[in-house]
Amino acid sequence: MLPREHGSWAVLIVPIALGLLAAPGARALPSALFCFGALAAFLARTPLQTLLRRPGDQKARRWTAACALMAAAGFLPLLPAYHRTWLLAFAAAALPLLAADTSARLRGKARSFLNELAGVCGLCLGAPAAFYAARGELPPEAWLLWAACAAYFAGPIFHVKLLARQHREFSVASDPAALSRARRAALAYHLCALAAALVALPEPAPLAYMAALLKTASAARLDARRVDFRRAGYQEIAFSVLFAAVMLAAFRARPLRG
């Protein structure tokens, strides 16, 4: 019942960690409650979607109930005890994205570009939400952290689709033009993300976007080939760690207000 997508763990954990670490004077207990609630809500997705596909699945029912109770135990104390009422707005934004993802998975469209992009944008809300939970304040710069995370983690969508197209061309040689389009799209996106980072983010944050561009440019030079997707997944985790490190250095050099 655990999520199978390794990348989704990085997209959950890194923005939350950055939101907490970028918050000056973060309070320990609200931060811990938020992390507990966010993890439980994330873990509820897979059993909930399994339950919707198989309503009689008792294991999925138990997992869904347990995760929902843990999420409530994490989030609800933050409302009366710490007055973190804006977390309700974050929930209101996240729930439609969860509903859309569930609908896409039930229709067999989980890997569609729009669904994956919506998932990244939703999970990256963890950055400003964690900042707010830790500090009780939500400065405009916290949304810059969300935009930085969303822009970075959208990149692997293009990169992995490029790898998938290379693998498909190696296996069945179906559409060389599609491989060319995947190359152009991946490179164009990473170039735009790097340009935006150079304009909007403090140093050394753009280094992470530069590294992602070089990774994708290296892959784009290759023709149709067999792809080891497990190895590619571990590579993405390593690049996520690099992104977290340089972002933390950037926002330590120029702290967010709060």
State the average pLDDT over residues 167-181.
Answer: 86
Asked if residue 185 has pLDDT above 90, the reply is yes
Asked if residue 42 has pLDDT above 90, the reply is yes
Burial class for 39, CB neighbours closer than 10 Å (0-12, 13-18, 19+): middle
Rounded percentage of the chain residues whose pLDDT exceeds 90: 69
What is the Cα–Cα distance from 149 to 127, expressed in whole angstroms? 8
Asked if residue 89 has pLDDT above 60, the reply is yes
- Computed over every residue of the chain, the mean pLDDT equals 91
pLDDT, tens digit, for every residue of 136-162? Answer: 999 988 999 999 999 999 999 999 999
What is the Cα–Cα distance from 185 to 178, expressed in whole angstroms? 10
- 8 A C-beta contact, residue 43 and residue 3: yes
Asked if residue 100 has pLDDT above 90, the reply is no
Pinpoint the alpha helices (H) of 85-205: 87-106, 113-123, 126-135, 140-172, 176-200
Specify the 3-state DSSP secondary structure of 212: helix
pLDDT score at 255: 66
More confident residue, 115 or 105: 115
- 8 A C-beta contact, residue 213 and residue 194: yes
pLDDT score at 257: 55
CA angle, 168 then 105 then 112, to 5°: 45
Count, residues in the chain: 258
Asked if residue 256 has pLDDT above 70, the reply is no
Specify the 3-state DSSP secondary structure of 4: coil
Q: How confident is the model at residue 76 (pLDDT cuts 50, 70, 90)?
A: very high
What is the Cα–Cα distance from 131 to 116, expressed in whole angstroms? 24
Q: How confident is the model at residue 26 (pLDDT cuts 50, 70, 90)?
A: confident
The whole-model pTM stands at: 0.92
Domain residue ranges in the chain: 6-253
More confident residue, 23 or 123: 123
pLDDT score at 5: 72
pLDDT, tens digit, for every residue of 219-244? Answer: 999 888 889 888 998 899 999 999 99
- Helices H, strands E: what count in the chain? 10, 0
More confident residue, 2 or 149: 149
More confident residue, 204 or 255: 204
- 8 A C-beta contact, residue 224 and residue 170: yes
State the average pLDDT over residues 2-24.
Answer: 87
Asked if residue 258 has pLDDT above 70, the reply is no
